[in-house]
Amino acid sequence: MAVAIRLTRGGSNKRPVYRVVAADSRSPRDGKYLEIVGTFDPRAAEDQANLKLDRIEDWVQKGAQMSKTVNSLYKQAKAVNA
């Protein structure tokens, strides 16, 4: 099973809120997931992303692939926490 760390969309029309999840790469965007590893609110003043960096790193060590957007959020969060 190939695992992808990607965003799933929540919220109402024109008010998106995203979860960062580890999911099987074959499952639909908003389908079944293995674990929630963070959240992302693009409407917040500072594009607020709350990520569990240790869990993301653990999934990557196990072979998970991050999407481009999650990789960007991960780098920003890591820079803020460093």
Q: Residue 31: which region, alpha, beta or left (left: phi > 0; alpha: psi -120 to 50)?
A: beta
Domain 3-81 architecture: 2-Layer Sandwich (3.30)
pLDDT in tens, 21-65: 999 999 988 889 999 999 999 998 776 889 999 999 999 999 999
* pLDDT (0 to 100) of residue 25: 92
Domain edges within the chain: 3-81
User: And the tokens for 41?
Assistant: 């609110």
pLDDT in tens, 29-41: 888 999 999 999 9
Q: Which residues of 2-25 are buried (b: 16+ CB within 10 A; e: fewer)?
A: ebbbbbbeeeeeeeeebbbbbbee
Name the pTM for this structure.
Answer: 0.90
* pLDDT (0 to 100) of residue 47: 66
* pLDDT (0 to 100) of residue 3: 95
